[in-house]
Amino acid sequence: MLQWIQGIIEGAGYLGIAFLMFAENVFPPIPSELIMPIAGFSAARGDMNLILAIVAGTIGTVAGALLWYYVGYWVGDDRLKDWARKHGRWLTLKPQEVDKASRWFENHGGGAILIGRMVPAVRTLISVPAGIVEMGMAKFLLFTTIGTIGWTALLTIAGYALGENYQAVSAWVNPVSNVIVAVIVLWYLYRVATFRRKVPKHQGERG
């Protein structure tokens, strides 16, 4: 993986960084924790400009975030509630909870996106609920871009400062990511195991 990332950045430059960061959003096993530090190391060697490397990473990430936004937009509120009725246990979601979550995201979505873009394992899919609630594109792009700049700049500058030891960034961030993923998986399994459907008193269908 490391040599593959290095080869693309060395061969395609800023376009390669943008491509890799877009791919990282679509296929999370490609780690931004390696992509941007390698870009920073390349800048430290004088092979590219530090600011342009951050810009390229930001563009690729925002493009990937837009893809997930439109996935959420396609799913939509009504389709998600229909899935919750049919497969609520596996989604760990009830139709009435979809409305509650949508209202919360409409009120706090900007902050959720801003923070979520800088949290490993969460940053990739935080765009989906924004699409589901049809958040305004200008607002979505604003908070996504600000959060993305923070994340890509942090990793790129770390790689720039660490030089050939840029892999230390991944060595520090990856365990954090693994802990977050483990917590999410355990929470999901708990929700599945304890999920109970509620039968509305005034409706024939189950929620």
Count of all residues that appear for the chain in the document: 207
Distance CA 169, CA 175 (A): 11
In a domain, 206, yes or no: no
The number of domains in the chain is 1
201: in domain? no
pLDDT, tens digit, for every residue of 62-117? 999 898 888 888 877 666 666 556 555 554 455 555 566 667 677 777 887 888 78
**Which one, of 6, 55, 39, lies nearest residue 156 by Cα?**
39
Asked, for residue 202, whether it belongs to a domain, the answer is no
pTM given for the model:
0.69
* CA 23 to chain CA mean position, Å: 12
Query: Who's near 33: CB < 8 A, 6+ residues apart?
Result: 120, 155, 169, 170, 173, 174, 177
**Full residue range of the structural domain in which residue 87 is found:** 2-194
207 falls within a domain: no
Domain assignment present for residue 204? The answer is no
| Helix/strand/coil for 188 | helix
Structural tokens at position 205: 């269908």
Position 57 scores a pLDDT of 94
